[in-house]
Amino acid sequence: MWRVIRPDSLRVWKDPEVVRRLARYRAIIDNERLAKYLIAKKFAFGGDLSLPTPSLWDLHTESSSGFEDFIARVDANEIDISEVANPPRNLLDLKIELANRILADCHFCERRCGADRTKDEKGWCKLGAESRVSSAFLHTGEEAPLVPSGTIFFSSCCFGCVFCQNADISTNPNSGHVVSPEGLAAVAAGLHRDGALNINYVGGDPIPNTHTILESLFYQTSNVTQLWNSNLYCSEETMSLLTDVFDVWLPDFKYGNNECAERLSGVKDYFDIVSRNHLLAYNSGEVIIRHLVMPNHIECCTIPILEWVAEKIPHCIVNIMGQYRPEHRARSERDKFPDIARRVSLEEMQLARAKTDELGICWRPVD
């Protein structure tokens, strides 16, 4: 059975490079493959969820390694998942337990603020244990292979970008409404019924809401791609919880060095952390990178990112984005951020796109 694909996304599926690079995602749309989270529910975890946290992480590493082979056999039709009994405890149960333990000493993101959010102590993101959704709708303005995308926008963020394009929700942890894991699953189910080709967790940023998102998968039953749309400043622990259950990654890659990131987004060790996480995502799923070209940052950011992508993760897709505009503090405090106080120029966009062509990066199909 095929899901309906809107006319504006049909053209992109005629491109053989897109088909090759997003083959599993397309197969989920066509119900020829199962979303990974559904397979994780069938993968037995035989341990005790009350074990100390280090022991649970050891078991998670072992289980995750075995799951790689399991999902490969399911995809190869060597295992009929419909004939696999539901185990008493599965890999997703283990991930939910570990996510809730992280919440008590929060290190979902690499700020690692250590807030005990289970006691409503606020983290750097100003969120306690509850997650808040600002909006959820079928998005027709995403990359062409993703349209229509079932986008769920979470409030708050773990970045402090001076040029934030949606500061109304990213900087306001009280925007939107509180959502439970079961409620989030209902939102996702409704979006899928309405025609969403994927469930797209965005924000703000989904990272501080990892516990709610993972637990919502317990209640979800639809065979629909789970898509992580994020700044990808996740901790390594968070990445390990996500990689087995997310099919497609839509990460930002903003900066080609640590200095620009610290000055403009207030985060340390950006390139080291985010490049690590892009590689983890690439090795576990299909990736469309978003790179927002910023004025005066071609040499220091755009080119180093594209060179790294071409060398390390060459089979992903990159969306070279030209819609930067000075917003938030970049607009109200232009004298403090003169390098990004204007829109990106046509010449800068041409340089960025010429570099992608030079390096052989796939980008045009997602214009």
Which domain CATH number covers 43?
3.20.20.70
DSSP string, 277-344: HHHHHHTTSEEEEEEE--TT-IIIIIHHHHHHHHHH-TTSEEEEE------THHHHTGGG-GGGSSPP
Does 123 reside within a domain?
A: no
Domain that holds residue 278: 7-118+129-366
Does 25 reside within a domain?
A: yes
- State the pLDDT at residue 46: 86
Domain count, the chain: 1
Does 2 reside within a domain?
A: no
The pTM score is 0.95
- State the pLDDT at residue 366: 57
Residue with tokens 């950006």: 270
- State the pLDDT at residue 1: 38
Does 202 reside within a domain?
A: yes
Does 124 reside within a domain?
A: no
Neighbouring CB atoms inside 10 A of 347's CB total: 9
User: Average pLDDT of each block of 10 consecutive residues along the chain (367 residues)?
Assistant: 52 88 96 98 94 97 96 96 95 98 98 95 94 96 94 97 93 94 98 97 97 98 98 98 98 98 98 98 97 98 98 97 95 96 97 96 70
- Chain Cα centroid distance, residue 123: 20
Does 289 reside within a domain?
A: yes
> What per-residue string of b and e applies to 68-105 under the rule 16 or more CB within 10 Å gives b?
eebbeebbeeebebeeeeeeeebbbbbbbbbbbbbbee
Does 303 reside within a domain?
A: yes
Q: Which residues pair with 152 in a beta bridge?
A: 136, 201
Tokens of 50: 């009350």
CB 172 within 8 A of CB 149: no
CA–CA distance, 200 with 39 (Å, rounded to integer): 19
Does 1 reside within a domain?
A: no
Residues written for the chain: 367
